[in-house]
């Protein structure tokens, strides 16, 4: 494919249930490209649009065509008629508007299957508003959450998902990108109180930081020309909890020492030296000795 102007495509992230592949109807999650002609492709390279995507037609069940299914539909005609009225649910990811960015947050809508809590799908506001009238509310439970767009979005959205995890244990899988839709102007004047960022030597960082377009998070509220350290997100560390309380350690050395197995030299086994037991030793208990000892006592008794 030839060159595409930047205004003619968007690189976005697909959540669970939002897309399937055109070729074999397999579910797709991850980076995708949306063209201005309404077509979708997997991946983030606009020069390689090899895997076309499409939105799934339905999350709803299909009525069976077997003899027993038809018989059930006749006998339970009222239930069958009511179910036929329901529309199929199509997953859809909500996008923030300019007003949302002005407010600093947006609402995201989702449903969970009542008999399978792993089945969560994001839906549009329109589907959410019309859910009771047009969709099967006995099969799916609807809900919404507030999604932060500015400030410390990773921490705020993580706390929000933890609150919802009690009723929706798998919600973190649905909203796995904590800084999704983050405001592009939200790169300076940020602050962490700890537990999120670390120096490259493994020491925990707390204080102001900014996000550089190439280097990622860095020390200081604003980017300056002078030297200032690059930071590492806690999620990028192998075990950030193990670094708490450690001062000025080298993270690479920490990993090496953690994985290193210490082999102790083999020690020669030394048999204990047991002194011989004297014939008149009262601690001696072997059967032959006791038999002899009884014989001696018997002789003395006669």
In this predicted structure, what is the pLDDT of residue 261? 44
In this predicted structure, what is the pLDDT of residue 271? 53
Q: Give the start-to-end residue ranges of the domains of the chain.
A: 1-56, 58-179, 190-259
Buried b (16+ CB within 10 A) or exposed e, 12-35: bebbbbbbbebeeeeebbeebbbe
pTM, two decimal places: 0.49
Task: Give pLDDT tens digits for 159-177.
Answer: 999 999 999 999 999 998 8
In this predicted structure, what is the pLDDT of residue 6? 60
In this predicted structure, what is the pLDDT of residue 85? 61
> Which among 247, 254, 258, 251 is positioned nearest to 201, based on CA atoms?
251
Residues in the chain: 302
What residues of the chain score a pLDDT lower than 70? Answer: 1-7, 57-67, 69-86, 186, 213-214, 235-302
Task: Give pLDDT tens digits for 221-272.
Answer: 777 877 888 888 776 665 545 455 554 455 555 555 555 444 445 555 555 5
HSE toward the beta carbon, residue 181, CA cutoff 13 A: 22
> Which among 112, 58, 114 is positioned nearest to 87, based on CA atoms?
58
- Dig out the tokens for 184 from the structure: 């592009």
Q: Residue 251 and residue 238: Cα distance in Å, rounded? A: 10
């Amino acid at each position: 494919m030839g060159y595409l102007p930047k205004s003619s495509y968007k690189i976005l992230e697909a959540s669970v249930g939002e897309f399937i592949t055109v070729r074999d109807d397999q579910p797709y999650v991850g980076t995708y490209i949306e063209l201005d002609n309404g077509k979708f492709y997997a991946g983030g390279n606009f020069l390689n649009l090899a895997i076309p995507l499409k939105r799934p037609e339905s999350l709803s069940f299909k009525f069976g065509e077997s003899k027993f299914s038809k018989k059930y539909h006749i006998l339970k005609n009222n239930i069958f008629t009511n179910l036929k009225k329901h529309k199929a649910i199509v997953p859809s990811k909500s996008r923030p508007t300019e007003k949302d960015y002005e407010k600093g947050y947006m609402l995201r809508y989702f449903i969970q299957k009542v008999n399978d809590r792993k089945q969560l799908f994001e839906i549009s506001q329109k589907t959410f508003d019309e859910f009771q009238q047009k969709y099967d509310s006995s099969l799916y439970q609807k809900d919404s959450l507030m999604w932060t767009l500015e400030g410390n979005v990773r921490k705020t959205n993580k706390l929000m998902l933890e609150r919802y995890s009690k009723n929706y244990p798998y919600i973190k899988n649905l909203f796995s990108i904590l800084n999704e839709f983050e405001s592009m102007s939200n790169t300076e004047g940020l602050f962490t109180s700890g537990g999120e960022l670390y120096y490259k030597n493994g020491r925990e960082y707390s204080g102001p930081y900014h996000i550089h377009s190439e280097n990622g998070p860095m020390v200081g509220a604003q980017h300056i020309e002078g030297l200032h350290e690059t930071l590492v997100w806690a999620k990028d560390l192998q075990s950030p909890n193990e670094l708490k309380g450690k001062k000025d350690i080298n993270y690479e050395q920490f990993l090496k020492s953690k994985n290193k197995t210490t082999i102790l030299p083999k020690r020669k086994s030394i048999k204990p030296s047991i002194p011989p037991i004297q014939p008149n030793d009262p601690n001696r208990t072997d059967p032959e000795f006791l038999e002899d000892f009884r014989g001696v006592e018997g002789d003395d008794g006669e």
